[in-house]
Amino acid sequence: MSQESSIQVLYFAAARRAVGSGEEQIPFRAGMTARDVLTRCIEGHPELGPMANSMLVAVNEQWVPLDTVLEGGAVVALMPPVSGG
């Protein structure tokens, strides 16, 4: 899969633990949004479902709204809320 025809998804914190991996590649399609990537990841990893509504999404190291349209080769980072003390 060429870089332009895929999206690299990076998982952090609880998302990484839920998925069991820090990253994966998913196919890119024209018009794809950050929401589409999140939805696809949840379909592939249902354990992400409970954290979906509070997930922060970054594209190419910038926090973005879910309706952001992506380009092929984008890097999407999914970060669930983290707590600490």
Q: Which domains are present in the chain? A: 3-79 (3.10.20.30)
Q: Tokens 């354990």 appear where?
A: 47
Q: Residue 78 and residue 52: Cα distance in Å, rounded? A: 9
Asked if residue 70 lies in contact with residue 7, where contact means CB atoms within 8 angstroms, the answer is yes
pLDDT digits (tens, 9 = 90+) for 47-64: 999 999 999 999 999 999
In the predicted model, is pLDDT for residue 79 greater than 80?
yes
Q: Tokens 């399609």 appear where?
A: 29
The pTM score is 0.90
Distance from chain centroid for Cα 24: 9
pLDDT band (50, 70, 90) for residue 81: confident
